[in-house]
Every structure is written in structure tokens, then in C-alpha cells.
Structure 1
Amino acid sequence: MRCKDKVVIITGGGSGAGKAYALALAKEGAKVVVAGRRLSRLERTVQEIEADGGEALAVAADVTVREDVDRLVQATVERFGRIDCLVNNAAIYPSGDSGVLNQNEDKWMYVFDVSIDGKYRCAQAVARVMAKQGTGGSIINIGSVATILGFGSGAYTNVEGTILGMTRGMALELSPYKIRVNEVGMGSTHTEAQAELYGGDDAIETTWADLPLSRGGKTDDTVPLVIYFCSDESEYVTGESVTADGGCVYTFWPGGVDNVLAAYRAKPSSI
């Protein structure tokens, strides 16, 4: 087991990728704390982990509320005695994000409050515990391909770019305490939120059919990366960003390019 007895907090752990991280880390021997606003979902995640012989705790917490974050950290330490890892997963993709010219400022601020300030609150509270423990730790900030690609969605795209800068800044500042900070980026993934955004799972597949790997993302695609960054295998890795996106970031393949390449390759060699 790659994460045996490590205590891991996962925000947004009641559904989607957060739940997938929780279940997978528990199978790797971690003691998992899932946090989020919907306690019933968190409790279902805990039940699945415990049914498989794992240890888990559900804590209702809103990452926009400092008192909730402090209570989450306190509950974790009271139950398990320490904190080894934070999977900083809680985020929001707002519907009706109208871009720069028509952006509602309140909505802009709320997206940052959840996806940036929320990550900062959690990372700060957890890092304080890790620093006192004196045994290092790992913080994994979950981002997306929008860290590098602009999607024309004002608040969301700006948030994702900020996550990368925050990750690298924290990595440098926390390195004296042997606390590693890295980012895992997701492509467009089959989750409830994404299905609602795109208009269903089939629409996700249609939208991303031209990717080099020819499909939309699955919640499990980033699980191995999260396990790696939680494990001691990544003890010499910090300040990095790794994206599982089917090739979207660097090699997005517009429709029709295959035909152009086929015609080009059929020509006689010029060298």
C-alpha cells in the first residue's frame, strides 16, 4: 500500500473526482477525511470506505468560511492525531459566466472565494499543523487545463491560472518544512457538474472527440497522479503541475487535420 496510515484531507470529497480520490486513497491504506457542504454525500463516501475495511471521517465544511476550515483541521487531528496530505479539490465552475465585458463582480468574487481563497485557507491551516509536526507533508491543488488554455470564461480561466502561481509560491515558501506543494490538472471530465455544463455525457464526448486520445476525461484519470503526490514516491517533487487531459493542452487536434496530414505524407519526399 503506497499511502499506508497517511492521514489525508480531501475537500469536495462527496462526489465526482473528490470521491474517486477518497476511495482510491483508502484502498492504498490512507486514513481519509472527506469535507464538503453536503454531509449526506460525504457520509455515503465514508460508508463505502468503511465497507471495504478502510478508515474515514466526514466533516461538513464550507471552504469559504475560515471557522469551518479550522474546525475541519481540528476534527482531523482529534480523530487521527496528525495530517500528512491535503487534496485541495473544492472548486466551482459557475453557470452563466459571461466573460470580461459583462462579468458580474459578485459572481467573479465568489468563484475566487471558493476556488482560490478556499484553497488558500485549507492549505494554510493544514500547513501550520504539518510545520509543527516536523515530518513534512504534501499539498495537492486540483486545477484544470484552463491553467494553460483560456476558455473565454472570465472568472474560471483566471482562477485556474492563479492556482498554478499559488502552487509554486507555496512550494517555495513551505520547502524549509519539507512540505511539498504540487498541482494536478484535469481535462474535461465526466462529472455531474460537467454533464450539466455540456448538456449530458454524450455532449462531452462529441466536444472532445478531436483530442489525440479521442475521448473526454474520466474521474479516475487523475487518481494515479493524486496517489503519487500523496505517497513518498514524490518526496523530491514540488512546485510541479501535471495535467491528465488526453493531450488537450499541448496537442489539441482540430477536426480535419488527419486528412491534411494524410495528403501531405502521400507526397514524394523532398529530402
Structure 2
Amino acid sequence: MVTGAGSGIGRSVALALAEAGWSVALAGRRATALEETAAALPSGDFLTVPTDVTSAEEVAALFAAVRDRYGRVDLLFNNAGTFAGGGVPVEDLDPETWRAVVDVNLTGAFLCAQAAFRAMKEQEPQGGRIINNGSISAHVPRPHSIAYTATKHAMTGLTKSLSLDGRPYRIACGQLDIGNAATEMTARMQTGILQANGQLAAEPVMDAADVAATVVHMAALPLEANVQFATVMATAMPYIGRG
């Protein structure tokens, strides 16, 4: 299952998983975008389920649909997220935007992970894998990104707790921290984005397919092995030395 599958990294990962032979469930808020992703998949078994990950009821319906179709859940790529409020100084960020980012990036990730955990614990044979989309911002922030950065730091705690709680049930959980994959959300990085020294600078990006290849590798491991944390980023981006 891939959340946020309608565009960007989610679409690239769904395509790569399908090419690797996985049956793929596509989840996201926009039905039209999910259909566009589905149209790009190679011939194979897939399911599209429009879902708002901030809704516990819709997440429950998503997992019920997947289990009805496939009988089990072997993999969740917990990818849905938003950068709303990015570029707004902390003193100007309104509480509604803060809550919206937390709802999608943290609560939505928790609801999907919880539903996957339940399914993986109950199914026979037991177990499965959850891969959380963290971010470079799970380590270091960009200027004016307090809501996004806080949720991505929280994602690391979510990953660690899932890893610990999943041990008795053969549920592996890892986190992929991504830097500057070329998507709609990162388009402005190529034209100029605020740096820690107050200057604007263009930043290099990488193909989202390179991220997808890493997810496919993590997903293909036996449940006795786990990539706990991995960082995949544009080689020359200002991460080492940021700030």
C-alpha cells in the first residue's frame, strides 16, 4: 500500500513496486490523480482507494478494501504529507495551519501505521513491513518550516516505537529520510530557496525514481532484516553543513 500515491514520490514508488511484481494499493485524497498513477503502472494487480489519511474512518475503509481484495497487507509505504505553512516565519504561523500539517504528517501517518499494524498482527502468516517517509527535516530544519520539521522529527519517534512494538509480531518498521527529490513540492528549490544565512539559492535535486529504488530494496528484505533508517538525497544539496 502506498499513501500519497497520486503524485511525486508516492507515484514513483507505486510504479517501482508494480514493476518489481508487487500488487499495489494506491491511496490519496484526489481520485483523478490516483487514476493517473494507475494509468502509468505496468500491467499488474492494483487497487485505487481515494482516502483522506486524517480521517480514522476513511483509513479503516482503505485497509478493509485492501484486505477484501488481497487478503493481507505485506507493506505500507507511509508517504502522505504536506508542507503547508512552509516559508512562514514562526511568529506568523496561524494555529489552523499548524494543526493541518500535524493532522496530515503525524496523525495521518499514525492512523495508517496503526491500521497496518493491526492487519499485520492478525494475518497468517503474521507480519509485514512499514516504511515511513521521514525527511532530511527529521534531522535538520530549513528556515521557516517549524510545523513540517516538528512532524518529521515526530515521525522518527513513531518509527522507533513501531519497530519496538512490532518485534513480537514480525512487523518491521524503517524510515527513509529524503532530501530534494524532484517533485511538485520541491520545484522552487531549483529556482531559489531561503538558506540558513538568509540568502536565496538554487539547490540540486535528484530523480524521485532513485528514492523509489531504495523503497523497493527495503521492501524486498526478509522480515528478519530491516533498514532502520536510511537517507537518500541529492549528492550536492546543502545538508551536511546546513545551518
Q: Which has the larger radius of gyration?
A: 1
Amino acid at match of 1:207: A
Distance in 2 (alpha carbons) for counterparts of 1:135 and 1:249: 42
Cα pair 2:28 2:52 within 8 Å, conserved: yes
Amino acid at match of 1:221: D
Cα pair 1:140 1:184 within 8 Å, conserved: yes
- CA distance 1:169–1:236, change in 2 (3 Å): same
Choose which of 69, 72, 95 in structure 2 pairs with 1:79.
Answer: 69
Cα pair 1:97 1:103 within 8 Å, conserved: no
- Which residue is 2:100 aligned to? 110
- Which residue is 2:30 aligned to? 38
**What RMSD over aligned residues (CA atoms) do the two structures have, in Å?**
2.0
Amino acid at match of 1:149: V
Q: Please state whether the residue corresponding to 1:76 is helix, strand or coil.
A: helix
Choose which of 152, 175, 180 in structure 2 pairs with 1:183.
Answer: 175
Q: How many residues are matched?
A: 233
TM, length-normalised to structure 1? 0.80
Cα pair 1:180 1:237 within 8 Å, conserved: yes
TM, length-normalised to structure 2? 0.89
Matched, 1:21 2:10: no
- Which residue is 2:146 aligned to? 154
Choose which of 169, 184, 191 in structure 1 pairs with 2:161.
Answer: 169
Distance in 1 (alpha carbons) for counterparts of 2:59 and 2:101: 17
Distance in 2 (alpha carbons) for counterparts of 1:129 and 1:96: 34
Cα pair 2:170 2:223 within 8 Å, conserved: no
Question: Shift in Å at residue 63 of structure 1?
Answer: 0.3
Distance in 2 (alpha carbons) for counterparts of 1:221 and 1:203: 23
In the TM superposition, what whole-angstrom CA distance separates every residue of 1:128-164 from its partner, at most 9, and x where no partner exists?
0100014210000001101111213110111111111
User: Where does 1:56-71 land on structure 2 (aligned, <5 Å)?
Assistant: 56-71=46-61
Distance in 2 (alpha carbons) for counterparts of 1:253 and 1:128: 39
Amino acid at match of 1:60: P
Distance in 1 (alpha carbons) for counterparts of 2:98 and 2:192: 27
- CA distance 1:83–1:94, change in 2 (3 Å): same
Deviates more, 1:66-75 or 1:243-252: 243-252
Choose which of 221, 225, 232 in structure 2 pairs with 1:244.
Answer: 232
Question: Shift in Å at residue 233 of structure 1?
Answer: 4.6
Matched, 1:127 2:122: no
Following TM superposition, the consecutive aligned residue runs of length 4 or more in structure 1 with deviations greater than 4 angstroms are 201-204, 247-250
- Which residue is 1:193 aligned to? 185
Question: Shift in Å at residue 46 of structure 1?
Answer: 1.6
Structure 1 segments unaligned to the other structure (5+ residues): 1-8, 209-214, 255-271
In the TM superposition, what whole-angstrom CA distance separates every residue of 1:75-99 from its partner, at most 9, and x where no partner exists?
1011111110000000000145523
Choose which of 217, 239, 254 in structure 1 pairs with 2:206.
Answer: 217
Distance in 1 (alpha carbons) for counterparts of 2:95 and 2:222: 42
Matched, 1:141 2:132: yes
Question: Shift in Å at residue 60 of structure 1?
Answer: 0.4
**Percent of counterpart pairs with the same letter?**
34
Cα pair 1:33 1:57 within 8 Å, conserved: yes
Distance in 1 (alpha carbons) for counterparts of 2:28 and 2:68: 18
- Which residue is 2:84 aligned to? 94
Distance in 1 (alpha carbons) for counterparts of 2:210 and 2:139: 19
Cα pair 2:54 2:103 within 8 Å, conserved: yes
Cα pair 2:85 2:147 within 8 Å, conserved: no
Deviates more, 1:117-126 or 1:149-158: 149-158
In the TM superposition, what whole-angstrom CA distance separates every residue of 1:37-67 from its partner, at most 9, and x where no partner exists?
1111111222222xx2211111000001111
Question: Shift in Å at residue 231 of structure 1?
Answer: 1.2
Cα pair 2:85 2:98 within 8 Å, conserved: no
